Amino acid sequence: MPRRSVLLLCVALVSSAPVTASALVIDFAGDVTAVVDGDARLDGSISPGTRLTGRYQVDPTPTGAPGEVSSARLTFALGDYTFDVAQAPHRIELLDDFPVATAQIDRWLPAAFVAGQLDPAIPTEPGHAGYSARIEFTDGTHTLITGLEPAPFVVLDATPWSDTRVIFSSLIAAPGGATDLGSLQWEVEIDTWSVVPEPASGALLGLGLVALARARRWSS
In this predicted model, what pLDDT tens digit does every residue of 117-131 receive, in sequence order? Answer: 999 999 999 999 999
Distance of CA 40 to the CA centre of its chain: 28
Banded pLDDT at 199 (limits 50, 70, 90): low
User: How high is the mean pLDDT of the chain?
Assistant: 84
Distance of CA 217 to the CA centre of its chain: 42
| Residue type at 92 in one-letter notation | I
Percentage of the chain modeled with pLDDT above 70? 80
pLDDT in tens, 168-187: 999 999 998 899 999 999 99
Between residues 105 and 218, the one the model is more confident about = 105
**Separation of alpha carbons 91 and 76, rounded Å:** 19
Would the pTM of this model clear 0.95, i.e. be above it?
no
Strand-pairing partners, residue 179, are 173
Q: Measured between alpha carbons, how far is residue 97 from residues 67, 92, 102, 153 in Å?
A: 17, 16, 12, 16
pLDDT in tens, 81-94: 999 999 999 999 99
| Residue type at 4 in one-letter notation | R
The predicted structure's pLDDT at residue 140: 94
Range scoring the smallest mean pLDDT among 72-76, 167-171, 189-193, 198-202 = 198-202
pLDDT in tens, 6-57: 433 333 333 333 334 456 999 999 999 999 998 899 999 999 999 999 999 9
DSSP classification of residue 116 = S
In the predicted structure, residue 208 carries a pLDDT above the cut 60: no
**Separation of alpha carbons 97 and 95, rounded Å:** 7
